[in-house]
Amino acid sequence: MRNLLNFLAKYNNLIIFLVLEGIAFYLLSTGNNYHNTKVVKGIRGTTRGLEQKISNTRSYFRLRDINQELASENNSLKNTISRLMKKEDLLFFSVSDTIFNQQYKYSSAEVIDNSVNRQKNFFTINKGRKQGLSADMAVISGESVAGVIVGYSDNFSIVMSLLNLDFRLSARIRSNGYFGSLSWDGIDYKNVILSEIPRHVPVSLGDTVETTGYSAIFPEGIMIGVVSDFEKPGGDFYTIKVALKTDFRKLHFVNVIGNMKKTEQIELENSFQ
């Protein structure tokens, strides 16, 4: 009680001023229609502004859920398109199967651990065996290459990043169709090296580099990046630097691609080796 009395004694002038200001404001806003309208509009405008800020804040905190919903819808559409648009010669098929035309299935996942500063980088995603994932499945970020699953448990998977000295990928230059071997040199997380492209092939800065589809892991036409530099060393091939489309420092949501005909393809290829 003593503290309260001391507070009132210390700030009594300010308290009286605020009370009188409140009374004056009330009389002004209720005693005159013009001022009353102005006050009401001002209060409504302030209220709408606060409500908009609150709504924006709520929307911001829902972005995670929205992104996951969009990723699921995107993969569902990809699976549908893969079934409907894949055209094969039906002359040799006598069975009726709603998915026999589909070669790739898609699933979304979230990156929960990642590295970019090592010579052999990996990242972890939050899906595994129980969600239908297995080794040698392709992982993309948006529409660009990110890595390949090399290990998995019931609910998690380890992905070998494109930024790994052991990573190799068959890639081609979209403008001319020539393909070679793509790998990371361990220097810059923004660039990789495309080799085995003959020196007589026309190469230009900005050319798109994409997957060939020659492996049983990545589909054809997945973007890797663009040609940022190239040189002609003493041999018969270019050394081409490719600026990656995927920003591995911002890797968050990814899509996993499973080749439903991978086992058949590999067994057939191995039988002739």
Please provide the DSSP assignment of 128-190 as one string: -GGGT--TT-EEEETTEEEEEEEEE-SS-EEEEEEEETT--EEEEETTT--EEEEE--SS-TT
Please name the fold of domain 169-247: Thrombin, subunit H (2.40.10)
Two tokens, residue 187: 């220097």
Q: Do domains 77-87+97-163+250-271 and 169-247 have the same CATH topology?
A: yes
pLDDT for 68 equals 66
Distance from C-alpha of 201 to C-alpha of 192, rounded to nearest angstrom:
19
Phi, psi of 235 (to 5 degrees): -85, -160
Task: List all residues 6 or more positions away from 178 whose beta carbon is below 8 Å from its beta carbon.
Answer: 172, 197, 198, 201
Unique residue bearing structure tokens 């006598």: 94
Closest to 75 in 3D by CA, of 257, 262, 251, 221: 257
d(CA 134, CA 60): 34
Given a cut of 50, the residues of the chain with pLDDT beneath it are 86-100
CA distance 81 to 195: 33
What is the SS3 assignment for 15? helix
Cα torsion 10, 13, 19, 22: sign: negative
Domain boundaries, the chain: 2-61, 77-87+97-163+250-271, 169-247
d(CA 19, CA 24) in angstroms, rounded, equals 9
For position 172, what pLDDT does the model report?
96
Asked if CATH classification 2.40.10.340 holds for the domain at 77-87+97-163+250-271, the reply, yes or no, is yes
**Contact assessment for residue 175 and residue 208, using Cβ atoms and an 8 Å cutoff:** yes
Residues facing 256 on adjacent strands: 107, 139
Tokens of 172: 């081609």
Alpha-carbon gap, residue 76 to 55, rounded angstroms: 29
Computed on alpha carbons and rounded to an integer, the radius of gyration of the chain in Å comes to 31
Residue 264's pLDDT is what?
Answer: 84
Backbone torsions φ then ψ of 5, nearest 5 degrees: -65, -40
* Statement: the pTM of the whole predicted model exceeds 0.85: no
Residue 260: which of 129, 82, 90, 110 has the closest Cα?
82
Q: What angle (nearest 5°) sits at the alpha carbon of residue 182, between those of residues 178 and 187?
A: 140
